[in-house]
A and B are shown apart, each in its own frame.
Chain A
Amino acid sequence: MIYNQKVESMKKGEMEKLQLERLKNLVHTVYEKVPFYKKKFDDAGVKPGDIRTLEDISKLPFTTKGEMRETYPYGLLACDLDNIVEIHTSSGTTGTPVVAGYTENDRSLWSEVMARCLAMTGADKTDTIQNAYGYGLFTGGLGVHHGAGPLGATVIPISSGNTKKQLQYMQDFRSTILTYTPSYSLFMAEVAGETGLDFRTLNLKAGIFGAEPWSDNMRVEIEKKLNLKAFDIYGLTEIIGPGVSCECEVQNGLHINEDFFYPEIINPETGEVLPEGEKGELVFTTLGREGTPLIRYRTRDITWLFREKCSCGRTTVKMHRLLGRNDDMLILKGVNVFPSQIENILMKIENTEPHYQIIIDRKSSHLDNVELQVEVEESFFSDETKDLEIIRKKIHNEMKQQLGISLNIKLVEPKTIERSMGKARRVIDKRDLPKAGEK
């Protein structure tokens, strides 16, 4: 079922007309209401009236995650605070979060695009969605929740964690759709295996997985172990949350809700717009957001766009599943982490320049196992094991508190961490993730 037949099956010309109309409105609005954008437009020597065609968008300046942090908390609001009905945040490099503010209309828009995504995977009012994305500031939980509403599907807002309960509810409520992170779904399969639960006896038909990178191999494994069809969903807090794009039954590329999120692919070095089919950095302009609309937001995600006659009947542009990122952001257990955050935390604890290495692996549990190796400096070395254990616990607790995830801390001897060309290799990622070089 196509949730919004009219828009999702629109002819290219009509879609472009709609996008241009919305883009023109957007540039006028942000120029008038957001001083940050007025200054950026003025500095770039561009006026809202200069945007006459869709191609003119390339005249507009980019927005970066760094700028979103600098304008924390309300610097990018394009409406009165009174009109904001919901706020979400996502982590930034220095601990300052980026903020997304939603008006009532934004929330309806979010419901609409999420309903479309759910429908792409075959969901309708007869479905029971077990939503194990975390509820809270993270957009995953509430995003799916908002989308299930207009669809008329039943939501079980179970949130993340508590695997035994997840498995119990899956049986008791006869859930038909799971929304999780892909790695957690495999972990659940593992636990189910131990308790003797056979997924073939359940009612699951689809899993909608996102919030972290995963490979095609992993999809095959998930589909086999959970006995369902696994769909990739994409979104980011800055743009709206989940609902930006999703795979349809064809499972070949994610249809972008391009009437609301105008995509471009750029050369990350030069900023030049690349034609469809070429690989580069994904950039989005929000066409319809009122709270925190964004002009040409650089996602740092690497992919490419393509149009094809999709047998699902949708005509919207597709993006290939993500191929990586062009910054050093890591997604660990579904949480965005920059190595510089870890470095800052270590510096505060030890008061010295830390030598550390992050080793990420997904072993049989399929969950991200993150080991943080910290070299023992003379400044905190002690002849007593308890002193070193105290330091180890302190590092663990600080990381947990500030990053929101639990890392295994391992103290190592100095100079054991490989240093190449004077620059230490900070991250060793052994996970089977899509590589930027693949196409």
Chain B
Amino acid sequence: MKVKQISVFLENTTGRLAEVTKTIAEAGINLRAISIADTADFGILRMIVDKPDRAMKVLKESEFTAKLTDVIGIVLNDKPGGLLTVMEIFNRDGVNIEYLYSSLIKEDESVVIIFKVEDIEHGLGIVEKAGLEAIASF
């Protein structure tokens, strides 16, 4: 299953990340995963939240440039070689990873890693065929 990720454009200026966080918090939205990609001039904040549609609404009302993208959240064993299992499968079956980051969720012996792949349908097919668990929502 696909997960909805929200990305927000941020200039590299003080306080902008705090603004986004505040907007999300005040709307009672909980963050489930977060990462930032940065260049010399700007950054892209990527996050998974419990209420993506509501988050999009409040971000736009606060005039942020935000966008929804489909990503895959794969449940992995939290032990050495956990990530390697997926990497080997993706490598073997030609799934191109654009980026990945870890979620804030940890239950028992497992973690959720967020993958953005070039071709999501292809990627999901491989994940399912390999018997890996892709979560639907948080």
Contact = CB atoms under 8 A, between A and B. Distances in A.
Given A376-B65, A378-B67, A413-B16, A385 B44 contact: yes
A94 interface: no
Interface string A390-429: 0000000000000000000011111110000000000000
Contacts of B46: 383
Contacts of A376: 9, 42, 65
B41 interface: yes
Contacts of B5: 383
A383 B69 contact: yes
Interface in B1-48: 5, 7, 9-11, 16, 37-39, 41-42, 44, 46
Interface residues of B, number: 22
B15 to A, nearest CB: 12
Contacts, number: 55
B67 A416 contact: no
Contact of A416 (B11, B39, B99, B116): B11
- Dominant secondary structure at the A interface: loop
B41 to A, nearest CB: 6
Interface string B104-121: 000000000000100000
Interface in A269-289: none
A414 B42 CA distance: 13
Interface string B35-75: 00111011010100000000000000001111101000000
A320 to B, nearest CB: 42
B11 A381 contact: no
A382 B38 CA distance: 13
A432 interface: no
B44 A413 contact: no
Given A413-B16, A414-B65, A381 B9 contact: yes
- Dominant secondary structure at the B interface: strand
Contacts of B44: 382-385, 388
Contact of A385 (B11, B16, B37, B65): B37
Contacts of A377: 65
B11 A383 contact: no
A331 B38 CA distance: 34
B98 interface: yes
A384 to B, nearest CB: 6
Given A378-B67, A413-B64, A416-B11, A385 B39 contact: yes
Contacts of A381: 7, 9, 65-67
Range, interface on chain A? 10 to 19
A389 interface: yes
Nearest to B9: A376
A389 B39 contact: yes
A413 B11 contact: yes
B35 to A, nearest CB: 11
Contact of B42 (A378, A384, A388): A388
Contact of A415 (B10, B63, B66, B98): B63
Interface string B63-104: 111110100000000000000000000000000001100000
A390 to B, nearest CB: 12
B67 A382 contact: yes
B11 A384 contact: no
B63 A384 contact: no
A385 B35 CA distance: 13
B117 to A, nearest CB: 12
Nearest to B98: A384
Nearest to A381: B65
Given A381-B65, A383-B69, A412 B39 contact: no
A389 B37 CA distance: 12
B114 to A, nearest CB: 11
Nearest to A410: B41
A413 B67 contact: no
Interface of B: 5, 7, 9-11, 16, 37-39, 41-42, 44, 46, 63-67, 69, 98-99, 116
Given A384-B98, A384-B116, A388-B39, 13 more contacts: A376-B9, A378-B65, A382-B67, A383-B67, A384-B44, A385-B38, A385-B39, A388-B9, A411-B9, A411-B11, A413-B10, A413-B64, A414-B65
18 contacts: A376-B9, A376-B65, A377-B65, A378-B67, A381-B65, A382-B67, A383-B44, A383-B67, A384-B37, A384-B98, A384-B116, A385-B38, A388-B42, A388-B44, A389-B39, A411-B11, A411-B41, A414-B64
Q: Which 9 A-B pairs have the closest CB atoms?
A: A383-B7, A383-B69, A376-B9, A385-B37, A381-B65, A376-B65, A415-B63, A413-B11, A411-B42
